[in-house]
């Protein structure tokens, strides 16, 4: 099974830095990045590894909410990329997206033996203290105890 590491942030630059660092640390990993544009009513999917862009497309959504994005693109994209057999999938959520609904949606893929739910990494800008976020919430919400990992990366 391909491990999926989920990245979330309140800042686009920190999210990009986090995913770039993971690509350097995880040879053979693939990033699946999503961005919601509520004004245009679209979802952008960017799939790339350390060497090239595999896919960059923009799709219209009926509603630019995380629920629609999950149903219509994020979970299908993870399934599609997993069948390419990367060493890991780095899922970069839309900025400010809560990871718990995504992790709950990935449980189905894990139960099918397609992916393994890996860690959750959160990057936050300076000024937000670790005590502001409940870093155990995601890990307690999904996955088996042996697979629960949550890490917070705080901006300096």
Helix (H, G, I), strand (E, B) or coil at 29: strand
Confirm if 27 and 43 have CB atoms less than 8 A apart.
no
**2-154 CATH choice from 3.20.20, 3.40.50, 1.10.8, 3.30.70:** 3.40.50
38-88 per-position pLDDT tens digit: 899 898 999 999 999 999 999 888 877 777 777 778 899 999 999 999 999
Cα 42 vs. chain centroid, distance in angstroms? 18
Confirm if 121 and 21 have CB atoms less than 8 A apart.
no
Nearest to 70 by CA among 30, 39, 101, 112: 101
* Pairwise CA distance, residues 147 & 145, whole Å: 5
List the domain boundaries for the chain: 2-154
* C-alpha distances out from residue 22 to 3, 50, 66, Å: 13, 10, 24
* C-alpha distances out from residue 82 to 22, 38, 42, 130, Å: 17, 28, 24, 32
Mean pLDDT, rounded, of the chain: 81
Confirm if 21 and 153 have CB atoms less than 8 A apart.
no
107-129 per-position pLDDT tens digit: 999 999 999 998 898 887 776 55
pTM, two decimal places: 0.80
The two structure tokens encoding residue 137? 């919430």
């Amino acid at each position: 099974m391909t491990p999926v590491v989920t990245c979330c942030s309140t800042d686009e630059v920190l999210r990009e830095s986090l995913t770039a660092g993971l690509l350097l640390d995880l040879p053979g990993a693939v990033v699946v990045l999503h961005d919601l544009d509520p004004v245009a009513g679209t979802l952008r999917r960017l799939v790339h590894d350390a060497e090239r862009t595999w896919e960059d497309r923009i799709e219209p959504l009926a509603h630019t909410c995380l629920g629609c994005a999950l149903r219509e693109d994020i979970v299908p994209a993870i399934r599609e990329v997993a069948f390419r057999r990367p060493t890991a999938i780095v899922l970069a959520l839309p900025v400010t997206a809560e990871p718990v609904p995504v992790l709950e949606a990935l449980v189905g893929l894990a139960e099918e033996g397609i992916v393994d739910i890996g860690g959750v990494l959160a990057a936050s800008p300076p000024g937000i203290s670790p005590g502001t976020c409940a870093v155990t919430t995601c890990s307690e919400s999904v996955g088996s105890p042996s697979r629960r990992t949550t890490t917070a990366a705080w901006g300096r």
